[in-house]
Amino acid sequence: MNYIKHLNAVFQQFSMDSRLNPTHISLYMALFQYWNINRFPDEFYINREEIMKMSKIGSKATYHRCLKSLNTWKYIRYLPSHNPYKGSKIRIPKFDTSSETSYGTNTRTTIGTSTEQLEGQALVPYTNINKQITNRNKAKLPKDKNEVLIFFKKRKWPELEGEKFFHHYNGIGWKIGGKIEITDWHSTAENWMLKSKEIKMAKATSQKRDNLKTSKTKNYGQPL
């Protein structure tokens, strides 16, 4: 029993199974630890109080519901004893990187990601999923300043604003607020110009406004 391969495979399955919630996973890990302590036998007795304490489950109803769900979805095999003086038994199928899992016998069981069991479907490595997501979200950045200036020129925006935009974001590693990576610099550039126009309009409005609200026509003959 290679528990590292087992955990890698089972976590791949967890990531693709939308039926699971954190309580299911916490309970499974507690059962796995119990299995580990008992040196990975085909089946082993469990103590409900200890399992609930290890999995941080405070409700007996939640514990039994999650246990039955894991059994239904074939992550475990639950063998209740119905005897207060004798604990229930658990069997945990041995996962690997293929689509099949074994209970330590000749019986083979496939774990599906929906209510219907999907036979013969290979699990997709989780690392590959992450790699695809990373490539898809890779930041789209300009090649150089000239590309930025051409973009600003096509939009009939001042070249000076294009230079300001390039040097500003190039200086902070093409991140919004210095933290969030830019995924589409075209949209960021358009937002830059919109803000620039708002600032100019605000200044123009401020210059026209008479903050003192005084009359321009004054009669100096009137007493104060």
pLDDT digit string (tens) for 26-75?
999 999 998 988 888 999 999 888 999 999 999 999 999 999 999 999 99
pLDDT tens-place string over residues 122-153: 343 444 444 444 444 444 788 889 998 999 99
Reply yes or no on whether the pLDDT at 210 is more than 90.
Answer: no
What percentage of the chain reaches a pLDDT higher than 90?
27
- Angstrom distance (rounded) from CA 149 to CA 126: 41
**Angle CA(33)–CA(37)–CA(42) in degrees, nearest 5?**
90
Coil vs helix vs strand at 171: helix
- Angstrom distance (rounded) from CA 117 to CA 16: 14
End-to-end CA distance of the chain: 100
- Angstrom distance (rounded) from CA 56 to CA 66: 13
- Residue 22 binned pLDDT confidence (cut-offs 50, 70, 90): very high
Tell me what pLDDT residue 215 has.
56
Mean pLDDT of the chain: 76
- Contact between 36 and 1 (Cβ < 8 Å): no
- Angstrom distance (rounded) from CA 173 to CA 10: 38
Tell me what pLDDT residue 84 has.
67
- Angstrom distance (rounded) from CA 96 to CA 52: 27
CB atoms within 10 A of CB 6: 21
